[in-house]
Amino acid sequence: MNFLKGGMYMKNIDKLEKLKKSFERNKDLVTDALYKDLGKNFEESRLSEYYPVISEFDYFLKNLEKWSEPEKIKSFFNFIGCGTIIQPEPYGKVLIISPWNYPFNLTFIPLIGAIAAGNEVVLKPSENSKFSSEIIKKIIEESGVEDISVVLGDRETTKELLNSKFDYIFFTGSTKVGKEVYLKAAETLTPVTLELGGKSPVIIEDEHCLQDAVEKIIWGKFFNRGQTCVAPDYIYLPTGLKDQFVELTREYIRKNGDVQGKIINDEHFERLENLLNNQNIIYQNGKIDDDTKNKGLFPFTIVLNPKDDDPISQEEIFGPILPLVEYESLEKVYWDLRLKPAPLALYIFRSDKGNLSTKGLKAGGVCINSTMLQIIDKRVPFGGVGYSGLGQYHGKYTFDTFTHYKPIFEGSGIKISMLRKVINLILNKIKK
């Protein structure tokens, strides 16, 4: 540990402390930028963007020393003067491409892990959240950490970056763009983490948990006006409960207020509008007109039983639209979901509270009798599977993502004659 304490480890601690101080100094600008880009109020900005980043800094500063330790491996080689260690090492130069929906959270959480592991980072924040991207650049530059460069620009800028050689690429965004990143990385066999999305379903298994389910589903859907990768995307609801679902939704909104934030831009507003074409709208808390379009205030909308081949059933909604899909057979719901791409999140509501079964469904993560909370604990990995992503991060998992664990064997105690005897003993046992 002497080398690490005197070298890389202490340097990485120093970088994290500088970044944290710069982030804290600019917290009011962070809040202002989030309001301009996404209409986030003070409470949501602090809850979803500022405090998670500060907490991640603190977690790394507390644990980085032990994570950076070489691990000594115990084996019979130790008895003959040999040994193996596993040495954590940085990949080298990494590219982090971050999205617009949680621009500070989803930029700094991977960045903290990359810097803690000792990497040099090129950071490309989203052009859609332009005010936040400018503040990200300001925070990095004011930190004085020289191993981070921030590149601002549009999609063409991202494409140019992907033509450069990196030792690791970390991408957060849509599955469509994620595939493009993956293909580009494959040309140079560059390892990647892809944090994508998908359609995260909610299964309400029985009517006894309906009120609890509605409150938690709407709470999760209302965050950031539905622009969250793990937001409930659509609901499987037992037939005959739709009226109760709508009435409970009205009651929730009366007590707790309407959906917060705004849609990021006109393009995404129009995309959401088009998803409602030919749909059976059974509830809409507001209207779509020039005023709401100009303000990005797409109203919370519930639609009933969209067709399987409708765009709303195929695309990740990423907004305040909630389809209800009525079902007669719970068994068929689970069967149908097995045939669909694995989502980033799976939500199940059931009155049998001790039942943790997911009946074999694949998903990046599962939350039973709640929503969104599966991503909170830093000790728990976050990431997708299949079409919803590749790789995991958060807490120690982020450090692991940006670290190559290199085994080093020291074999001066071994004699070739001894090694031959060991090999012969093994071969004789195999023959028997």
Measured from the Cβ of residue 390, the count of other Cβ atoms closer than 10 Å reads 18
In the residue annotation, 367 being an active-site residue is answered as no
In the residue annotation, 195 being an active-site residue is answered as yes
Query: Which residue do the tokens 């093994």 mark?
Result: 426
Q: List the catalytic residue out of 44, 229, 316, 367.
A: 229
CA distances from 186 to 182, 197, 269 (A): 6, 21, 34
Measured from the Cβ of residue 414, the count of other Cβ atoms closer than 10 Å reads 15
Q: List the catalytic residue out of 44, 49, 56, 195.
A: 195
Catalytic residues: 195, 229
